[in-house]
Amino acid sequence: MGSLDGRVAIITGASRGIGANIARRLAAEGAAVALVARTLEPDTSPLPGSISEMVRRIQADGGRAAAVQADITVPQDVETIVERAEALFGPVDTLVNNAGVNFYGPALEITPKRYGLMFQMMVHAPFRLCQLAVPGMVEHGRGWIVNITSKQARHPIGPPYPDWASDGCTPYGMCKSALDRLTTGLAAELEGTGVGVNSLGTSGLVMTPGVAVVSPHTPDNAPVEPDSAMADATLALCATPPGSVTGRITYSMDLLGQPFPDGPWALSATF
């Protein structure tokens, strides 16, 4: 028996990278996982990975998984996700808002289209999914929400400012900061209901397919954390008793209690 037997989880951005690792980890602990992404089949995206492939991989390992194809940059798609997941597996008690995107560059030069897409994917969609999923969680007296955040949500101390503060991540950091405020505010509103809401970010660099394509950060200029860290940390948050851990903004290696070197996003250089 796994620590998540009987649980039903939605994971967005689950076709590759961090989301795929989280889906596999939760499924290995017994959760039925609904994998959400727009890439349903292999070779239909410039990046490797699809939710159909991940479903087959999880099922081959003995887990329960299903693909819920949706583009969370499209509000109409977001409206269907919880209903479709519950039609497959029953009431959803776990939601991992993982999907994200970053367009690096100076804040004043980002196009309105890219700015709007980032906020829809990383702010509006997670907020709406919470609105759709939480009432059922409250009704059943238990729920676990994990919002995948970033140290880029924090404020750099300066002047003088650390180099990473001007590495082209201001709009991305704005989105993640809004997501963190959703975490703390919703945690306060749901106190005593059995629903916990937490934010989890990486302690170091994770070389996902998307990061490898667009990020200026590489293993040469930033410490790389184990690929398993975010999945293990997500499980640690989701395996807690209902409502017992909530309102936390934490980072993978810190949560796991594993020493990790300071990188360019050292917490000591932020507030």
- Annotated active-site residue 172? The verdict is yes
Per-residue pLDDT, 212: 67
Q: Where are the alpha helices (DSSP H) in the chain?
A: 17-28, 51-60, 75-89, 112-119, 125-140, 170-189, 209-214, 229-238, 252-256
Strand arrangement of the beta sheet that strand 143-148 belongs to? 64-69, 32-37, 8-12, 94-97, 143-148, 195-201, 249-251
Per-residue pLDDT, 21: 98
* DSSP-based three-state secondary structure for 255: helix
Catalytic residue among 104, 115, 172, 251: 172
Q: Which pTM value belongs to this model?
A: 0.97
**Helix, strand, coil share of the chain (percent; to 5):** 45, 15, 40
pLDDT tens for each residue of the chain, 271 residues long:
799 999 999 999 999 999 999 999 999 999 999 999 999 999 999 999 999 999 999 999 999 999 999 999 999 999 999 999 999 999 999 999 999 999 999 999 999 999 999 999 999 999 999 999 999 999 999 999 999 999 999 999 999 998 889 999 999 999 999 999 999 999 999 999 999 999 999 999 998 877 766 777 788 888 999 999 999 999 999 999 999 999 999 999 999 999 999 888 899 999 9
